A and B are shown apart, each in its own frame.
Chain A
Amino acid sequence: MSITVALDVTDRAKPPRAVFVPFRMGHHFGVPFHPSLQRRIIMDALAYVEHARISGDVHRLPITWAQARREGLELEAASLPPLTNRS
């Protein structure tokens, strides 16, 4: 099971099972400190191992980079202490 951010490369390499995430290179599992997204991509990819029926089909995960990045920024902001408590 290949997890790809490059459909054109995957189309030529032809892994039998692949899922596509529309993310930046080097960020196949999302954004920093967003464990639920990282887990979701792993589990969605593993689910497709069971569900794939045609070799070469690429399953697209329904998420965008903008959404992932926005959620990551929100999570990081929520993990910071309130401004009044910062030194």
Chain B
Amino acid sequence: MMDNSEGAQLRPGLWDTVNERYPGSMIVSADDVALVSFTRPIREARVAFVSSAGVQPRGTLPFDVVHPVGDYSFRRVPSTSRVEDLEIHQLKYPTDGAARDLNVIFPIERLQELAAEGAIGGLTPEFFSFIGYNMDPVRFERTLAQELADAVVAEQPDVVLLAPA
């Protein structure tokens, strides 16, 4: 087993590998986004969580994981959800850990605990999830990313944690 004791990326060359297999599918940003200062103490901050892990409440329309150009929709996940009421629809990353403990990729129980303890100010009522398998980055930015950003802003978070699976 590889011991990445120097803290290197465990799966090297990921961007190149995917870009060779699906040319033009990977996101490239030309410029850095200006850093917005953050002065509110974390213990007072309202936190939202956004994940590309394909996590969704059981009973909602499953993500289309086999569509040739991807699924450009997102799902709302109430931040009060129990892990047993959530499921994953996603084929592009290892889910063996999440199958045993969803918190390894969607740490909803830890966030609920931190909010209850006062370590963070609270949680937005809704968290959000989509799948990262989207082959058209321009369409992604104009549709899913914009719609999701609007939905997140409507939740009025102070901080948004993003976990690109």
Residues of B close to A33: CB separation below 8 A: 100-101
Q: Which of B7, B105, B109 contacts A27 (CB 8 A)?
A: B105
- Asked, given contacts A56-B32, A64-B4, whether A22 binds B9 with beta carbons under 8 Å apart, the answer is yes
Residues of B close to A25: CB separation below 8 A: 10-11, 14, 93-94, 165
Residues of A close to B94: CB separation below 8 A: 24-27
Q: How far is the CA of A52 from the CA of B90 in the complex (A)?
A: 32
Cβ–Cβ contact A30 & B104, under 8 A: yes
Residues of B close to A47: CB separation below 8 A: 42
Cβ–Cβ contact B161 & A3, under 8 A: yes
Number of interface residues of B (CB under 8 A): 56
Cβ–Cβ contact B32 & A31, under 8 A: no
Q: How far is the CA of A7 from the CA of B95 in the complex (A)?
A: 20
Q: Which of A14, A38, A46, A53 contacts B32 (CB 8 A)?
A: A14
| Most central of B16, B96, B103 by chain A CB within 10 Å | B103
Cβ–Cβ contact A29 & B107, under 8 A: yes
Residues of A close to B105: CB separation below 8 A: 26-29
Cβ–Cβ contact B4 & A22, under 8 A: yes
Residues of B close to A9: CB separation below 8 A: 14-15, 26-27, 164
Q: How far is the CA of A52 from the CA of B3 in the complex (A)?
A: 29
Residues of A close to B160: CB separation below 8 A: 1
| Apart from the given pairs A14-B31, A39-B114, 19 other A-B contacts in the complex at a CB distance below 8 Å | A1-B160, A5-B11, A8-B16, A13-B28, A22-B8, A22-B9, A25-B93, A26-B53, A26-B94, A26-B98, A26-B104, A28-B104, A32-B103, A35-B110, A38-B107, A42-B114, A42-B161, A46-B120, A49-B159
